[in-house]
Amino acid sequence: MSATADENSDQRITQEEMLAAVENLGAMLDLVTATAESMFEAVDEDGDGRVTAAEYARMIQAWTGREAPTDLAFARLDLNGDGELRRSEFVTPLGGVLGRGRR
């Protein structure tokens, strides 16, 4: 955030620069949410509105280029523990990265 806030790259963040950065958080959150929505559509291979553990694992493998353990990450995203990710479970944690600082 400091690199983004330091608009004139003088290695110091003025109050005005910080206020401008905070104002932009909403737009950044909207962008993160839109990206997460698009990712959900791509990962939900069969279009049933749910991402299974297998679909999630294939996404991670496609993204990283190798197989990787995904059970723990999937379980953390699966907020209701039903073994599938609904759109809200998939999108909220990704958008929450920026939202945490605003609570």
How high is the pLDDT of residue 34?
86
Task: Give yes or no for a contact between 94 and 32, defined as CB atoms under 8 angstroms apart.
Answer: yes
DSSP string for residues in 40-68: HHHH-TT-SSEEEHHHHHHHHHHHHSS--
Rounded to the nearest 5 percent, the helix, strand and coil shares of the chain are 65, 5, 30
* C-alpha angle 34-35-36 in degrees, rounded to nearest 5: 90
Which amino acid is it at 21? A
What are 45's two structure tokens? 């291979």
Task: Give yes or no for a contact between 87 and 75, defined as CB atoms under 8 angstroms apart.
Answer: no
Partners of residue 85 on adjacent β-strands: 51
> Which residue range is the domain that position 37 belongs to?
2-102
Mean pLDDT rounded to a whole number for the chain: 79
How high is the pLDDT of residue 3?
54
How high is the pLDDT of residue 97?
40
Quick: pLDDT tens for 62-101.
988 898 899 999 998 898 999 999 998 888 765 444 333 3
Which CATH number covers residue 32?
1.10.238.10
Work out the pLDDT band at 6, boundaries 50, 70, 90.
low
How high is the pLDDT of residue 27?
73
For residue 37, pLDDT over 60 is answered with yes
How high is the pLDDT of residue 4?
60
Number of structural domains the chain divides into: 1
